[in-house]
Amino acid sequence: MSTRTAVPAASADAAGAAPSLLTGVQAAAGWQAFPDASGHFGKFGGRFVPEALMAALDGLTEAYAQARVDDAFIAELDDLLASYAGRPTPLTDARRLTEHVGGARILLKREDLAHTGSHKINNVLGQVLLTKRMGKSRVIAETGAGQHGVATATACALLGLDCVVYMGEEDTRRQALNVARMRMLGAEVVPVTSGSRTLKDAINEALRDWVATVEDTHYCIGSVMGPHPFPMLVRDFQRVIGVEARAQVLERTGRLPNVVVACVGGGSNAMGIFHPFIPDTEVALIGCEAGGDGVATGRHAAAIAGGAPGVLHGMRTYLLQDEWGQTQVSHSISAGLDYPGIGPEHALLHETGRATYRVVDDTAAMEALALVARTEGILVAIESAHAFAAAIEVARELGPEATLLINCSGRGDKDVDTAARWFGLLDEPADADPAGTAAAAGTAEGGGQR
């Protein structure tokens, strides 16, 4: 790590300039032991994969170990993050939302303004540069909401790599816009028809591809999950969110936030913003799992609240599973959170109590989505809306003296169709009933209707 280990500490000097992506990766005091050399976060994580993939995972671990201390690699990545992805992303004071809620001062880390519309680009640029470094020419990825697929297709177009994206057939329907985007970017999108036809099955299919193609192909995993080194690698590439936000909040308010809130699918935007705050034990970290119809109904995607430790997709972590260890199908209105597991480092943060996890159901998320749109003029992704819903509750609990930082992980263009149906905006032929549209939108604060 040569000279790049200095964390921006309590000084605000790094605000504004894009901090090096890998700045301070080792500096989360007490937490730097994770993962250990074998890829474990306490009892979580590890590598549960066929022997055929072990050599590739070792190769990736080694390539990353070299890249992270290579000034040329770091400079190339920093340059792409700044000049291509648009980093640093801004910190926005959500004044009208703060006023409306009547609690803590709410600050937004605007990952929705990063190129391609979400935080996913941070990880992808890092992994695609690594792919080139390893001399591989083909990239495969899974995607749920399509945001990771779009980011991967984008980076592959930029760097001239072949790209294949696996997407559950169910998700290709609810995120049709992103399918078209990926295809325009030159990626092949493969609808996955096995199993439950959602994100978990897309991962299965990507792993099947990878076993057969590992010689020339990199599997660009989209979240802090999967076998070691992926949870570490993706966290390190997403850590830029928290490094920037920490400095920006210090500069803006003169102190650290009381609470940081993020939504959790696999958990990459949350790990990215949490990680630099882990040593700041006075800062509470809150992850928001997707509650679907409610944990009590069994139709949800809350792995910590409603699951138990087990092994899936190469890692040991909290999972939705039955008593026989068969994975249960998750449910969420948000395709990007609709996954029955969670990254292993979150499992450890949960067990140690360093982070806490709340459940936000579909209705609460959609209400928050509508509220944020009308108070801040930001149409957030349904994934991110889960963080806003919990943050609104927490802001009230904290009171006006406190500051709360939300990771606004993505923008909601891809979700307009889902939202329109949820709020009944398209019930009638779209142009026939402007008054009805307005009335339906008006219900959002009181309770969304299907």
Partner 1 sequence: MPSRLDDRLAAARAEGRAALVGYLPAGYPTVDGAIAAMRAMVAAGVDVVEVGLPYSDPTMDGPVIQQAADAALRGGLTTRDVLRTVEAVADTGAPTLVMTYWNPIEQHGVAAFAADLAAAGGAGTITPDLPPEEAAPWLEAAAAHGLDPVFVVAPSSSTERLRRVADITGGFVYAASLMGVTGARSQVGTQAEGLVARVRAVTSLPVAVGLGVGTAAQAAQVAAFADGVIVGSALVRVLLDAQRRGEGPEVALAGIGALAADLAQGVRGAQANVPVTA
Ligand X SMILES: Cc1ncc(COP(=O)(O)O)c(C=O)c1O
434 Cα distance to chain centroid:
35
Supply 292's token pair. 């679907």
Catalytic-labelled residue, pool 142, 170, 205, 345: 142
- The smaller minimum CB distance to partner 1, of residues 192 and 290, is found at 192
Q: Spell out, one character per residue from 326 to 365, where the chain touches partner 1: x when CB under 8 A holds, - when not.
A: xx--------------------------------------
Annotation says 142 is catalytic: yes
Q: Is 214 in the site for partner 1 (CB under 8 A)?
A: yes
CA distance 449 to 443: 8
- The smaller minimum CB distance to ligand X, of residues 35 and 231, is found at 231
Query: Which residues in the 53-82 window bind partner 1 by CB under 8 A?
Result: 53-56
Kindly state the smallest distance separating residue 207's Cβ from partner 1, in Å.
Answer: 4
265 binds, among ligand X, partner 1, none (CB under 5 to 8 A by kind): ligand X
Q: Give me the sign of the Cα torsion angle 405, 363, 263, 92.
A: negative
CA distance 199 to 221: 12
Q: How many CA atoms lie within 13 A of 440 on its CB side?
A: 19
Please give the backbone phi and psi of residue 175, each rounded to the nearest 5 degrees, phi first. Answer: -125, 45
Q: Give me the sign of the Cα torsion angle 287, 293, 296, 300.
A: negative
Kindly state the smallest distance separating residue 32's Cβ from partner 1, in Å.
Answer: 22
Kindly state the smallest distance separating residue 186's Cβ from ligand X, in Å.
Answer: 20
337 binds, among ligand X, partner 1, none (CB under 5 to 8 A by kind): ligand X
- The smaller minimum CB distance to partner 1, of residues 1 and 65, is found at 65
Query: Which residues in the 162-201 window bind partner 1 by CB under 8 A?
Result: 194-195, 200-201
220 binds, among ligand X, partner 1, none (CB under 5 to 8 A by kind): none
CA distance 142 to 152: 9
Q: Is 141 in the site for ligand X (CB under 6 A)?
A: no
Q: Give me the sign of the Cα torsion angle 295, 297, 299, 303.
A: positive
Beta strands in 201-333 (DSSP E): 217-219, 259-263, 284-294, 299-301, 308-312, 315-319
CA distance 303 to 270: 15
Residue 50 CB coordination number (10 Å): 10
How open is the CA angle 233-75-26, to the nearest 5 degrees? 40
Kindly state the smallest distance separating residue 12's Cβ from ligand X, in Å.
Answer: 26
CA distance 313 to 52: 15
Annotation says 43 is catalytic: no
Catalytic-labelled residue, pool 196, 330, 332, 409: 409
Annotation says 51 is catalytic: no
How many chain residues interact with ligand X (CB under 6 A)? Answer: 21
CA distance 198 to 171: 6
Peptide bond into 35 cis (omega under 30): yes
Q: Is 323 in the site for partner 1 (CB under 8 A)?
A: yes
Residue 411 CB coordination number (10 Å): 21
Q: Is 383 in the site for ligand X (CB under 6 A)?
A: yes
Q: Spell out, one character per residue from 201 to 240, where the chain touches ligand X: x when CB under 6 A holds, - when not.
A: ----------------------x-----------------
- The smaller minimum CB distance to partner 1, of residues 48 and 84, is found at 48
123 binds, among partner 1, ligand X, none (CB under 5 to 8 A by kind): none
Q: Is 314 in the site for partner 1 (CB under 8 A)?
A: yes
Strands 217-219 and 138-143: parallel
- The smaller minimum CB distance to partner 1, of residues 87 and 316, is found at 316
Q: Is 175 in the site for ligand X (CB under 6 A)?
A: no
Choose which of 212, 254, 431, 435 interacts with partner 1 (CB under 8 A): 212
Residue 230 CB burial class (10 angstroms; 0-12, 13-18, ≥19): buried
Q: Is 47 in the site for partner 1 (CB under 8 A)?
A: yes
Are 181 and 156 within 8 A, CB to CB?
no
Q: Is 51 in the site for partner 1 (CB under 8 A)?
A: yes
- The smaller minimum CB distance to ligand X, of residues 273 and 440, is found at 273
Q: Which residues bind ligand X (CB under 6 A)?
A: 118, 144-145, 147-148, 223, 263-270, 336-337, 381, 383-384, 409-410
Catalytic residue ranges = 120, 142, 409
